[in-house]
């Protein structure tokens, strides 16, 4: 009876104070979950037989209510949920207008929120705090917004953040945040989004994938701002289905598998399905090419199942995996700094590709390579990889199964191994209107085009700025590079 009396007193107080504060909030607290109602919205509260209390469509069992408080200062915006982590526990504050349509479960510092189909407007979830044994899971049927605000969250057995909403999820990065997942879990990624993600803000998010990927979205990802640091991934650093578009921000990746892997989505009709497009921002991706057991993964630092287009920004990609013989395909498999199963197009920006794995490729395109602007630098430093007397893999700087057309910008390619190829195509190789330098183990010249070129020889060493004749190019060879008796191709507009 005393508990019921106290709750009744709290309710009475909330009514009596109704006209005294415009921003007054009535909070119903059930353990670590609080539902905050704006007093002006509450209307009639039904108190039934001393057992239940109903407010705005949500019915509470009296025994589940730990307290009811009235706060003249607190203002909780509609359609918001705040989740704060603290060690082994978490607390959730829910705007009252959502109370009837959310199912919330907290176990320790693991938070699970399900939004029903009545919710059609986006909910903003703000995640803050610090826990080494927590996670956040959300599912629903409407678009949502997630603010990651100075959050440190590590799960020992699952994803740190898992969104199963299947809709558009807007992420805003605030401050410095850190996510880690459990190595023994079955989760697709440390940060997993079943839906299409938009990432913005001016904060920094650091994450790692100890089970599979570090970041994964089942539909497209748009990067518009903020910094994402992926310090390690057993598989891919970023695994994106449908398409990935970079419009701003910074991405830094180190992974054992692919750095960024963009795949096609089977039922997607989007014109960019399977593509990667970089318009602005900065990407640095490194595929170590070595798994936890020391075996080569022939990873690709950047990979897309369809076209890759660079219209601006800065892209730096490095792969280190050695070639291997793929018994399933009865063929060689090699690492690539950049691999596209479609066309490669570059109109502007800066692209730097490096591969120091044996038999590795710099730029590898199944379709055409078309460069009309920007600065492209490609260097391979690995040796020829020989599997047996039939199968081997030679390093290649720029390889295309279609045409190579360079009509603008600057393109510098250097391959260190003997008999390695700078520009590899069985079709047309055209230079018109661009500055091109090729240094390698084979004599490669354009097959068509009106621009003059010079084919010569030379010797080149590490840390050397390339000078040919009386012209010095803004092309510095990296540490570890060496190519004596090289064939040299030079063409200037």
How many CB atoms sit inside 10 A of residue 3's CB? 12
User: Three-state SS for 481?
Assistant: coil
- Beta-carbon contacts of residue 330 (< 8 Å; ≥ 6 apart): none
DSSP 296: B
Integer Cα distance of 257 and 135 in angstroms: 25
User: Three-state SS for 424?
Assistant: strand
The model's pTM = 0.93
Tens place of pLDDT for every residue, the chain, 493 residues? 344 445 555 554 444 444 444 458 889 999 999 999 988 777 777 777 778 899 888 999 999 999 998 888 778 999 999 999 999 999 999 999 999 999 999 999 999 999 999 999 999 999 999 999 999 999 999 999 999 999 999 999 999 999 999 999 999 999 999 999 999 899 999 999 999 999 999 999 999 999 999 999 999 999 999 999 999 999 999 999 999 999 999 999 999 999 999 999 998 999 999 999 999 999 999 999 877 777 777 889 999 999 999 999 999 999 998 888 787 877 778 889 999 999 999 999 999 999 999 989 999 999 999 999 999 999 999 888 887 778 878 899 999 999 999 999 999 999 999 989 999 999 999 999 999 999 999 999 999 888 999 999 999 999 999 999 999 999 999 999 999 989 999 999 9
Length of the chain: 493
Is 244:221 a contact under the CB 8 Å cutoff? Answer: yes
Virtual torsion, Cα 201, 206, 211, 213, nearest 10 deg: 50
The pLDDT value given to residue 7: 53
Q: How far is CA 141 from CA 101, 120, 146, 253, 382, in A?
A: 12, 8, 15, 32, 50
Integer Cα distance of 438 and 416 in angstroms: 11
Tell which residue, 162, 218, 219, 166, has the closest CA to residue 185.
Answer: 162
The pLDDT value given to residue 23: 58
The pLDDT value given to residue 29: 95
Integer Cα distance of 115 and 260 in angstroms: 31
Alpha helix ranges (H) inside 271-412: none
The pLDDT value given to residue 385: 81
Phi first, then psi, for residue 319 (nearest 5°) are -125, 145
9 burial class (0-12, 13-18, 19+ CB within 10 angstroms)? exposed
Phi first, then psi, for residue 157 (nearest 5°) are -145, 10
Is 26:76 a contact under the CB 8 Å cutoff? Answer: no
- Beta-carbon contacts of residue 162 (< 8 Å; ≥ 6 apart): 135, 136, 137, 138, 187, 192
Alpha helix ranges (H) inside 68-178: none
Give buried/exposed letters for 96-123 (b at 16+ CB in 10 A, else e).
bbbbbbbebebeebbbebebeeebeebb
Tell which residue, 485, 481, 487, 382, has the closest CA to residue 438.
Answer: 487
Is 357:335 a contact under the CB 8 Å cutoff? Answer: yes
The pLDDT value given to residue 16: 47
| Encoded tokens for 324 | 């291997």
Tell which residue, 141, 184, 177, 123, has the closest CA to residue 159.
Answer: 184
Q: How far is CA 444 from CA 27, 403, 418, 437, 440, in A?
A: 75, 14, 13, 11, 9
């Amino acid at each position: 009876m005393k508990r019921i009396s106290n709750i009744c007193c709290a309710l009475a107080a909330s009514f009596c104070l109704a006209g005294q504060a415009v921003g007054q909030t009535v909070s119903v607290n059930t353990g670590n979950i609080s539902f905050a109602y704006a007093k002006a919205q509450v209307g009639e509260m039904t108190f039934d037989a001393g057992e239940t209390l109903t407010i705005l469509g949500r019915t509470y069992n009296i025994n589940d209510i730990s307290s009811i408080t009235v706060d003249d200062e607190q203002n909780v915006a509609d359609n918001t949920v705040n989740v704060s982590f603290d060690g082994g526990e978490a607390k959730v504050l829910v705007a009252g207008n959502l109370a009837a349509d959310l199912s919330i479960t907290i176990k320790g510092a693991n938070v699970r929120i399900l939004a029903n189909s009545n919710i059609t407007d986006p909910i903003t979830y703000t995640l803050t705090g610090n826990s080494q044994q927590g996670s956040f899971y959300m599912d629903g049927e409407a678009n949502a917004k997630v603010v990651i605000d100075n959050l440190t969250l590590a799960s020992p057995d699952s994803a740190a953040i898992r969104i199963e909403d299947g809709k558009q999820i807007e992420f805003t990065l605030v401050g410095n945040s850190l996510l880690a997942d459990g190595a023994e879990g079955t989760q697709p990624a440390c940060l997993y989004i079943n839906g299409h993600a938009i990432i913005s803000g001016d904060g920094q998010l650091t994450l790692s994938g100890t089970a599979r990927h570090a970041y994964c979205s089942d539909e497209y990802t748009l990067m518009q701002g903020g910094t994402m640091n992926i310090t390690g991934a057993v598989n891919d650093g970023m695994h994106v289905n449908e398409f990935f578009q970079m419009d701003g921000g910074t991405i830094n990746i180190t992974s054992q598998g692919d750095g960024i892997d963009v795949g096609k989505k089977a039922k997607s009709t989007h014109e960019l399905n399977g593509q990667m497009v970089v318009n602005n921002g900065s990407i640095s991706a490194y595929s170590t090419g070595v798994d936890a057991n020391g075996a080569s993964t022939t990873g690709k630092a950047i990979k897309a199942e369809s076209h890759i287009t660079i219209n601006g920004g800065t892209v730096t990609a490095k792969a280190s995996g050695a070639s291997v013989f793929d018994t399933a395909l009865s063929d060689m498999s090699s690492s690539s700094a950049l691999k596209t199963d479609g066309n490669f197009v570059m109109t502007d920006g800066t692209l730097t590709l490096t591969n120091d794995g044996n038999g590795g490729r710099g730029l590898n395109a199944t379709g055409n390579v078309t460069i009309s602007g920007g600065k492209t630098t490609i260097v391979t430093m690995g040796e020829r990889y020989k599997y047996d007397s039939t199968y081997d893999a030679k390093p290649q700087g720029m390889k295309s199964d279609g045409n190579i057309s360079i009509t603008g910008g600057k393109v510098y390619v250097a391959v260190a191994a003997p008999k390695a190829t700078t520009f590899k195509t069985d079709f047309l190789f055209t230079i018109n209107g661009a500055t091109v330098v090729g240094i390698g183990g084979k004599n490669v010249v354009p097959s068509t085009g009106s621009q003059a070129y010079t084919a010569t020889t030379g010797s080149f060493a590490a840390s050397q700025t390339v000078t040919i004749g009386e012209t010095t190019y803004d092309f510095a060879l990296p540490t570890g590079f060496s190519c004596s008796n090289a064939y040299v191709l030079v063409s200037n507009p």
